[in-house]
Every structure is written in C-alpha cells, then in structure tokens.
Amino acid sequence: MYGYNGKILRVNLTDRSIKTEALDEAKARKYIGGRGLGTKMMMDEVDPSVDALSPANKLMIVTGPLTGTATPTGGRYMAVTKSPLTGTIASSNSGGYFGAELKFAGWDAIVFEGKASAPVYLNVVDDKVELLDAGKLWGKVLSETTDALEQAHGDKARILAIGPAGERLSLLAAIMNDRWRAAGRSGVGAVMGSKNLKAVVVKGSGKVAVADEAALKEAFAVCMKKIKDNGVTGTGLPTYGTAVLVNIINENGVFPTNNFQESVFDKAEEISGEALAEKYLKKKDPCFRCPIACGRYCEVDDIKGGGPEYETIWAFGGDCGVSSLKDVIKANYWCNEYGIDTISAGATLAAAMELYQKGLVKKTEFGDGPELKFGNADSIVEWTKRMGAGTGFGAKLAKGSYRLCESYGVPELSMTVKKQELPAYDPRGIMGHGVQYATSNRGGCHVRGYMISPEILGLPEKLDRLETAGKPGWVKIFQDFTASIDSVGLCLFTSFAMGADDYAALYNAVCGTKITGADFVTSGERIWNIEKQYNLAAGIGPDQDTLPPRLLEEPVPAGPSKGRVHPLSQMLPEYYSLRGWDAKGIPTKGKLSELGL
C-alpha cells in the first residue's frame, strides 16, 4: 500500500499479548486514517455505552496516510477513544515528531485494550515490540519521564506519555508527546492512565512508500507557495505564534474575560503574542516538516519549555483576569509537566473564581492555597500544580468546570458544551462559530470547524461576524473539511492557505488514487456522521447541541459586541436541514445510506 504501512499493532494490556493485524484497505480508503479511521474502529469494536475509564474502553493512536511523508506539516496523529470528560467520541490531535516516527517504524495505528495489572510502557523499535515495567516512572512528571526513557532507549527515541494527572484519572488529563506537544482535549490522558499505561517509546528506521514522487514534488511546491504567500501562515503565525490572535480577537470584542462575564480584556496587550515575542521567546519550535513553525519555546526565571499557545494565554490570562504573562507561562509549564489540557485547566480556574466571587466557594476551602479570585496571578500557578497533583481543592478542579459548578448547584456557571470547556472566542459576537461550538461532536471545541477563519481573519473570504444568514452552511463545510484534514495527517493550520483540491492532490500523489477535492470533503462528511452516530448510541442526544445559558441569555456588557446574545435556536434548524438530518437533529436513513453508513 502507498501512504499506509498496512499494519496495525494491537496490544492487550490485560494478558500482555501483542499482535500484528493487516490494515483493512477498503476501510482505510473510506475513512482516510487518523480521526476517521479511529472513529470507525471504535464504532466497530467498542460499545458506545461503555464506561470510558473501564478496561472495556480502548485507546487508539492512529496516524494518517500523509503522516511521515514529504508533505507540509505531515507529522500529526490522533488519540481516539471514548471521552471520560464528555461521554462523546474523543479524537485528540497532536503534532511534534511522534506520529511520523510511528509510521517510520512501520505502523499505521496502535490499539490498546484492557488494563495492565501494574504500570507498564510499550517499547517499539520497528517490528520489535515489548511491554516493559513502568513502576519507577509512575508518579513522575513529563520531563522526568522523558529524560528517563531517553536515557534507557536513546535520545532519538520519540516518546508519548502521561503525567501524574493522567495517572490519577483527572478528567482534564492530556496525552503528551515530544515533551510538550499535547493530544490535549477530552481527558484522553485519563483513559491511558486507567489502563496503567505510562508511555509509548518508538524508534523507526523505515520510510513511507509514495506512489508518485514526481507528482508529490509538484503538489508540495504548489502548497508551499500558498503557505508562504498567505498572511497568516507565511507571516503572522511564524512571527508571533498562535498568540498573534490575542489583540485581534480582543479588538473584535470576542475575547472572553472573567469566565465569559465580559468580552474585552483591558490588559490584553500585556499577554499578546507581540509581548511574548519581545520578552520571553527564545526560539521557534516547529513540528515535523512544518514550514509554519508556530510553536514557541520560552524561558522565564528558572522555567523553560514549549508554549504557551493562544488558547492557553487566554485561558489563564483573560478568562482569569490575569495580565501577568510570566505567570501564564509558568501555569502552562506545569500543565505540560502534569499532563493537563491547558484550555480546560484555565477555564476551570476561571469558573472557580466566579464561584468564589459569588460567595459559593468559601475562602476556607482553599486551605493554605492562594485565593482563586479574578486577577490573582499567583493563584493560577499554584492551583495548576495542585490540580495536577489532585490535592485539596485541586482534586475538585481536576474534574473540570462542569462537575465543579454542578457540585455547588450552579452548573450554568460552567462555560462548557457537552461538559467540555469552551475555548477563547465569545460566540455572542461570532454567529457561525457559536453554531460550531454547539454542534461539535466532541463538546466545546474551536478546531472542529474553525469559523474564526472567515468570520474574523477573512479566509477564504471575509464574512460579517454578526450576520446569521448563510452561516449554518459555512459551519457544515468547515466541519466536514476539518474532519478530512484531521484524518489525512496534516495540521489544520494549512487550511488557512490550502483548499480541498490541494489536499486531494497530495493524497493522490502519496496514495496513488484519483480523488477530487469534493471527494475529500465528502469523506469528512462521512466521518462527521459516524461520530454523530457514536454519540447518539452513547446517549449524547441533540438536546446537548446547545450553549451555556449565559451566552444565550446575557447580553455582552460592553465593547464591539455589546448587547449581543447568540441566536442559536434560530440557526440550528437550518444547520440540521443542510446536514440531511431530521428536525430533531438525528441523521436520516437517506443521508446515512448516501454516505455508505
């Protein structure tokens, strides 16, 4: 096979059996790889009603056909499982170098089943695969874990691991790789921890077979020119990283502040990408074969490491009312060390701050920790550590903002969709993005259909962010398009510059196929619908396609979006209709048949 290695590694942690299986080529072509293939495998193998933290759940590390190839940003992999945070299908994306190394070792995916009786890690050197004791690694933070495994297996080994948060089954736990890259959202790290699986070490000596090297070289050149010529991928992201968005989003009046109570942060400039570059940035930190190089490597005091990204800066900054970039960087560092999703972590702290602001959380509950109040920079660092360690009030925080707020009788103060914390954009001022939030198949998420691109950045064309007409159609296209990009193994950021025909050309050159751009997007629609089927079977009904009450009922108090709420109920019927679903938001038999489902 071209693009695919044709092999899946199946590891049963309960009986320690390790098997090689042939990749189902027809299934791979139909669902592409990565997110799509992983979801299909979950649907085939795992009861959607399963307890996400039970041995019956499975964890799949799945690459795409372009992962490890000479394509722009071809280093992505997906962690696919059932989410313990949301109960939905989880497919968390990560970059770095691990995904490419797994392909070089000859594998398209690893499927983990069951639960080990004691902590273990998997060591993969091409076809040689073994489970090894991880007892001495259990409890270690990411840097200690990575250092120890590199010492044991060489510094050229690529390492995926969880931190103490995953071991303790924190619902915010991430799977980390290459030290500070994260498959961050939906609590996938807790699933790994529930299986007593600490890490995966991979070293590969092979290469991915390509059908037409000349065609790939030509398609690569076209795509690279588009990426370099594009203002976002060629200038903005390389210069300031994703934090280039801080001032842009704030100036549009959609930068959530103080747990979405406001939409403009008057100190945004102090935590902007420009400020980061001026004060703390030491170098760019690109992923495998990435010409964009949005990753940042920063140093502050005695702390150094990857990040922070825009979402992280917002979550610990504006959402918590904190303007100290130094402390945001430190909080990001501890998220990386403990293995925590930075978006959910910061947003959960913001929710706790509002609970304290309203007198629902008492000062005594903080013990000897700092007050969790808006603007208190010390609190975001200390409580991130305690969240990761699961100590004191930190144990409540480790469950996420929905369960935290619910425990105080006010779940509506949790800014979540399907129990997953919303990212850094207030949908009251971005109509299409609000529909995307509400309908996302994995809960609150910005990268399931990044409507910020047309509504704020003007790519591929500028849309009025406050206009509702036509937006449901845009949301559907972006969601389907994104599903295919996640599955093929490339970074979503390439879509700022590349179109469906470009991805099809790369896929055809690598895999020896003749799909069109329209075919590429249709594959994404198929993936979106099977995710919806999984969620429905898991009990996640259309009633959860909604936004927090605050965003539907409380007008933005000030700024460019002043007076706005999100008119979701007016927009959902059109979205469902365009998807070919019934009025209740259920895929029809006709639509499923059309997509081969």
Mean pLDDT, the chain, rounded, equals: 97
Q: Could you give the percent of the chain with pLDDT greater than 90?
A: 100
What pLDDT digit, counting tens, does each position of 402-446 carry?
999 999 999 999 999 999 999 999 999 999 999 999 999 999 999
pLDDT for position 296: 94
Listed in sequence order, the DSSP H helices in 46-155 are 98-104, 142-153
Q: What is the mean pLDDT of residues 392-408?
A: 98
Rounded Cα distance, 287 and 69, in Å? 13
What pLDDT is stored for residue 247 in this prediction? 97
Average pLDDT for residues 120-140, to the nearest whole number? Answer: 98
How is 210-269 classified by DSSP, letter by letter? -S-HHHHHHHHHHHHHHHHHSHIIIIIHHHHGGGGHHHHHHHTT---BTTTTBS--TTGG
pLDDT (0 to 100) of residue 428? 98
Q: Smallest Cα–Cα separation from 76: which of 100, 92, 59?
A: 100
pLDDT of residue 276: 96
Catalogue all structural domains in the chain, each as residue range(s) with its CATH number.
7-203 (3.60.9.10), 243-421 (1.10.569.10), 427-594 (1.10.599.10)
- For residue 50, the model assigns a pLDDT of 98
The pLDDT of 559-579, averaged and rounded, is 98
Q: What is the pLDDT of residue 421?
A: 98
Q: What is the pTM of this model?
A: 0.97
Instruction: Using pLDDT thresholds of 50, 70 and 90, give the confidence band for residue 542.
Output: very high
**Mean pLDDT confidence for 377-405:** 97
- The number of beta carbons lying within 10 Å of the beta carbon of residue 262 is 19
Greatest CA span in the chain, whole angstroms? 67
Q: Output the pLDDT for position 235.
A: 95
What digits encode the pLDDT tens for the residues 331-358?
999 999 999 999 999 999 999 999 999 9
pLDDT at residue 525 in the model: 98
